[in-house]
Amino acid sequence: MSDEKSMIRREALKKMGVVAAGIGLGIGGVNAADVLELSEKEEKHRKMKVLAINGSSRKDGNTADMLNLVLGELEKEGYETEHIQLAGNTINPCKACFACAGKKNCVFGDDIFQELYRKMTEADAIILGSSTYSADVSSTLKAVIERASVVSDTNPGMFRHKVGGAVAVARRAGAMNTIDTINHFFLNKEMFVAGSTYWNIAYRRLPGEAMKDEEGVANMKNLGQNIAWILNKIK
């Protein structure tokens, strides 16, 4: 075993309060074998990043809960994750000036889009989530999609072979259009689109209620597992 791997294992054991690396050793309810397995997964995937962007106008609502379920499955596999919530931010619409050509980002820095786009291009997988507004994504997420589309169109290949996952939440109907809008962005940018056992949609209205949608919760967890599977194949 290399010195680097040995150090990673020792650090993992130290963090969990384990002082010996015997397989099957349990201290405080933690099994050393599980700790070692997680440290190896973190080492394997330490350079692969997954970015979730929550387009809901509500912070920490149902869409956030569903995205966290997806990210939770990826974190179990050792992937680095980040969850950005757009609530409270204004994303200006695209000006169609095409000044981004050759610059690999939007030239306007009067909102958070430049930083958001940089994170998107650095990620290996992008998960876009939105509550359903008038049978589509939120206006904030739509602005992100439109501006990201133009920047990537004038700078081809920036999203090629990344993995994409769509998440939608709806009170009753219209969520399929939300999923379609997100997936059309992924497909048009040469990305691999992950699916689940059914549509990646959860149904409820008030914050926290979507966690009661058992099928929706199961679909989100499976989506996370499928994204991890694809990342493992293309790494």
Convert the pLDDT of each residue in 93-136 to its tens digit. 999 999 999 999 999 999 999 999 999 999 999 999 999 999 99
Name, of 1-15, 31-45, 182-196, the range with top average pLDDT: 182-196
Residue 172 clears pLDDT 80, i.e. is over it: yes
Residue 185 clears pLDDT 80, i.e. is over it: yes
Element at 37 (helix H, strand E) = helix 32-45
Hey, which bits of the chain come out as E strands?
26-27, 30-31, 49-54, 80-85, 125-131, 163-170, 192-193, 201-203
Which tokens in the block code for residue 8?
Answer: 């990673």
Angle at 200 between CA 197 and CA 203, to 5 degrees: 115
For the chain, give the mean pLDDT.
88
Residue 188 CA to residue 185 CA, distance in Å, equals 5
pTM for the full predicted model = 0.81
Residue 88 CA to residue 100 CA, distance in Å, equals 26
Domains delineated in the chain: 1-46 (no CATH), 47-234 (3.40.50.360)
Instruction: Give pLDDT, residue 233.
Output: 95
Mean pLDDT of 54-67: 97
Instruction: Give pLDDT, residue 45.
Output: 52
Sort 2 into a burial class: Cβ within 10 Å, 0-12 / 13-18 / 19+: exposed
Mean pLDDT of 10-18: 48
Sort 111 into a burial class: Cβ within 10 Å, 0-12 / 13-18 / 19+: middle
Q: Minimum mean pLDDT among 16-30, 32-46, 83-97: which range?
A: 16-30
Closest C-alpha to 189, from 227, 226, 150, 224: 150
Angle at 69 between CA 30 and CA 79, to 5 degrees: 65
β 163-170/125-131 pair status: parallel
Q: Pick the residue with more confidence: 6 or 137?
A: 137
Instruction: Give pLDDT, residue 47.
Output: 78
